[in-house]
Amino acid sequence: MALLEIKNLSFQVDTTKILDDFSLSVEAGEVHALLGTNGTGKSTLAYLIAGCEGYRPTSGTILFAGKAIQTSKIHERAQLGITMAWQEPVRFEGISVAQYLTLKQRDLDPAPYLAMVGLEPGRYLARMVDRSLSGGERKRIELASILALHPRLAIFDEPDSGIDMLSIQDIINVIAACKEHGSAVLLITHREEIALIADQASQICRGKVVCSGTPAEVAAYYKSRQCSGCATEVCVD
Interaction site with ligand ADP (CB under 6 A): 13, 16, 18, 36, 38-44
Q: Which is nearer to Mg ion, 35 or 141 (CB)?
A: 35
Distances (CA, A) of 66 to 1, 63, 84, 156, 208: 7, 5, 20, 22, 23
Contacted entry of ligand ADP, Mg ion, none for residue 41, CB cut-off 5 to 8 Å set by kind? ligand ADP
* Interacting residues with Mg ion between 40 and 79 (CB under 5 A): 42-43
Find out whether 213 and 231 touch, Cβ atoms under 8 Å.
Answer: no
Nearest approach, Cβ of residue 166 and Mg ion (Å): 17
Q: Which is nearer to ligand ADP, 42 or 179 (CB)?
A: 42
Angstrom distance (rounded) from CA 35 to CA 192: 7
Angstrom distance (rounded) from CA 33 to CA 225: 18
Contacted entry of Mg ion, ligand ADP, none for residue 13, CB cut-off 5 to 8 Å set by kind? ligand ADP
Q: Which is nearer to ligand ADP, 40 or 145 (CB)?
A: 40
Find out whether 32 and 199 touch, Cβ atoms under 8 Å.
Answer: yes
Measured in whole angstroms, the distance separating CA 233 from the mean position of its chain's CA atoms is 27
Contacted entry of ligand ADP, Mg ion, none for residue 18, CB cut-off 5 to 8 Å set by kind? ligand ADP
38 sits near Mg ion (criterion: CB under 5 A): yes
Nearest approach, Cβ of residue 128 and ligand ADP (Å): 31
Find out whether 58 and 92 touch, Cβ atoms under 8 Å.
Answer: no
Nearest approach, Cβ of residue 120 and Mg ion (Å): 32
Q: What angle do CA 162, 196, 204 make, to 5 degrees?
A: 75
Contacted entry of Mg ion, ligand ADP, none for residue 206, CB cut-off 5 to 8 Å set by kind? none
Q: Which is nearer to ligand ADP, 171 or 235 (CB)?
A: 235
- In the sheet with 67-68, reading across from the earlier edge strand, the strands are 16-26, 4-13, 59-64, 67-68
Q: Which is nearer to Mg ion, 114 or 188 (CB)?
A: 188
What residues make contact with Mg ion under the rule CB under 5 A? 38, 42-43
